[in-house]
Amino acid sequence: MPFTSLGLSPSLLIALSDQKYQAPFPIQIQAIPAILNRKDVLGIAPTGSGKTAGYVLPILMNLQGNTSTKNRHVNVLVLVPTRELSVQVGEVFNIFSKYLPQKIKTMAVYGGVSINPQLMGMQGVNVLVATPGRLLELIDSNAVHLSQIDTLVLDEADKMLNLGFAEEMNKIFALLPIKRQNLLFSATLSDDVNNINQVLLRKPLVIKIEEEILNINLISQIGYFVSEENKGPLLRYLIRQKNIKQVLVFASSVYKADNISDKLRKNGIDAMAIHSKKSQGARTEALSKFKSGKLRVLVATDLMARGIDIKNLPHVINYELPRSPKDYIHRIGRTGRAESPGEAISFISPDDQHHFKIIQKKMGKWVTMIDSEGIDLF
Ligand code: AMP
């Protein structure tokens, strides 16, 4: 089914074609017409299924000619669990709203940064993407009012509940007008998520998208036997020799991630690290540069990489192995989709050899190994 059959406006069809979205993803086929018809939706879909555009596009269309006239009264509220997701969702709204005849202003707010610019920026906002805690602070400061909300979106509701936002979410729900559209997205349908569904949604369209089964065979995997002290030189050698333009490198700790990216930069290779000890500004900058292809190497810890939507990468390098085979598969799954096969490289020090055997056994696939002793690294 093409995008043209979903009821979207010509300007959004142009936006989709500019964004190289050729055909709608399954969740979009179902969600877009339902949201355009102002129905409630419960979407059970893994990250990466395309749910963001699935709600952003119809919401933007519904807003055309229907924005609030009162200042600081937002029309659409999207609640998200993390700062990263807030920024990402805000970007998707901005990308598509640029094409619309009527200007729609989106603002992404989240904690951990100064509230002042957010307070000032609330003038004329139509779509607010927010983490619950910061939203409540903004409400307390009278910077934003929720009484004219037409549409509420809960994105990654399961994560919000895991992170303990239930109480704050309930406070927010109590401030919303009774008549509104509710859209709830979650990777899993846990009891907690189902409880919110029962309270919030009215006869929702339920959309269930199964996790895409990763085809390990599409990923070319290589292991390098390498001593701990030669990992840095081997990394530089591979980036140069394979002329790698974009690679996500996994490190086991914050300290290591910084160390790896510092060394790359000292050797003239553009790299940045992303981890929990970096400021929000630094994280956002690193991520957006990497996604737009302006940063060659992003060095990440597992925790950071999990929450951020970067996939379809040509290269992933395990500078250090993750502890669990599941994490290994998750890491390498960021490369090697049907349309663009990728390469996953793992550095195996003598201490890692046993662990790597266990990973391969669990994965059910043996990885081709190369001994770096035979390579002239210097
Ligand atoms: P999401 O699950 O919303 O985080 O989306 C995952 C990724 O898929 C994002 O990078 C989107 O830009 C991309 N995407 C979403 N819908 C489409 C589509 N119909 N065609 C191509 N890419 C898409």
Strands 151-154 and 297-300: unpaired
What would the mean pLDDT of 206-227 be, rounded to a whole number?
86
CA-based max dimension of the chain: 70
Calculate how far, in angstroms, residue 19's C-alpha sits from the geometric centre of ligand 1.
10
Residues 169 and 236 in one domain: no
Q: Is the dihedral of CA 258, 260, 261, 264 positive or negative?
A: positive
The chain-wide mean pLDDT, for the chain, equals: 91
| Whether the predicted pLDDT of 337 surpasses 90 | no
Band (313; pLDDT cuts 50, 70, 90): confident
User: Span 205-222, mean pLDDT?
Assistant: 83
Q: Are residues 165 and 224 in the same domain?
A: no
Give the whole-number percent of the chain exceeding pLDDT 90: 71
Q: What is the CATH number of the domain that holds 290?
A: 3.40.50.300
Task: Tell me: do 59 and 189 sit in the same domain.
Answer: yes
DSSP string, 331-361: HHTTB-BTTB--EEEEEE-GGGHHHHHHHHH
Q: Whose CA is nearest to atom 14 of ligand 1?
A: 50
Q: What is the pLDDT of residue 300?
A: 92
- What average pLDDT does range 115-128 have in this prediction? 95
Q: How far is CA 350 from the centre of its chain?
A: 35
Sign for the pseudo-dihedral over CA of 160, 213, 336, 44 = negative
Judge if 114 and 251 occupy the same domain.
no
pLDDT at 336: 63
Tell me, in angstroms, the distance from the centre of ligand 1 to residue 234's CA: 34
Q: Are 328 and 322 in contact (CB under 8 A)?
A: yes
- From the CB of residue 176, how many other CB atoms can be counted at a distance below 10 Å? 16
pTM, to two decimals: 0.69
**Counts of helices then strands in the chain (DSSP H, E):** 15, 14
Write the residue with the smallest CA distance to atom 4 of ligand 1.
48
Number of domains comprising the chain: 2
Please provide the DSSP assignment of 204-247 as one string: PEEEE-PPPPP-GGGSEEEEEE--GGGHHHHHHHHHHHTT-S-E
Residues 164 and 225 in one domain: no
**In this structure, are residues 316 and 250 in contact, taking their beta carbons and an 8 Å threshold?**
yes
Span 193-203, pLDDT tens digits: 999 998 899 99
Give the residue with greater pLDDT, 119 vs 215: 119
Distance 262 CA to ligand 1 centre (A): 32
- Are 163 and 265 part of one and the same domain? no
- Residue 5 is classified by DSSP as G
Give the residue, out of 57, 86, 156, 309, with the most ligand 1 atoms within 8 A of its beta carbon, to mutate for a pocket test.
Answer: 309
With a Cβ cut-off of 6 Å, ligand 1 is lined by: 21, 24-25, 28, 47-53, 309
170 and 45 fall within a common domain: yes
Domain termination residue (choose one: 165, 190, 209)? 209
Per-residue pLDDT tens for 315-324?
999 999 998 8
Start-to-end CA distance of the chain, whole Å, equals 54
Q: Are 225 and 201 found together in one domain?
A: no
Query: What is the mean predicted confidence (pLDDT) over 295-303?
Result: 89
Instruction: Verify that 108 and 84 share a domain, yes or no.
Output: yes
Probe ligand 1: pick from 5, 16, 21, 306, max atoms within 8 Å of CB?
21
Cα distance between residue 261 and residue 279, in whole Å: 16
Cα 121 to Cα 245: distance, rounded to the nearest angstrom: 36
Contacts 24+ apart (CB under 8 A), 259-262: 260/232, 260/235, 260/299, 260/319, 261/297, 261/299
Per the structure, the complete domain to which residue 143 belongs is given by: 3-209
What is the 53 CA–ligand 1 centroid distance (Å)? 7
Query: Quick one: 350 and 298 in the same domain?
Result: yes
Domain check: are 42 and 70 in the same one?
A: yes
pLDDT digits (tens, 9 = 90+) for 79-94: 999 988 999 999 999 9
- What is the distance between the alpha carbons of residues 166 and 5, in angstroms, rounded to a whole number? 38
Same domain flag for 263 and 339: yes
Among protein residues, the one with the nearest Cα to ligand 1's atom 21 is 21
pLDDT tens track for 129-168: 999 999 999 999 999 999 999 999 999 998 898 888 999 9
- How many CB atoms are located within 10 Å of the residue 282 CB? 14
**Which of residues 178, 209, 240 is at a domain's end?**
209
Whether 302 has a pLDDT exceeding 80, the answer reads: no
Give the three-class secondary structure for 364.
coil
Is the pLDDT reported for residue 338 higher than 60?
A: no
CA distances from 41 to 27, 44, 190 (A): 11, 10, 16
Last residue within a domain, chosen from 191, 209, 227: 209
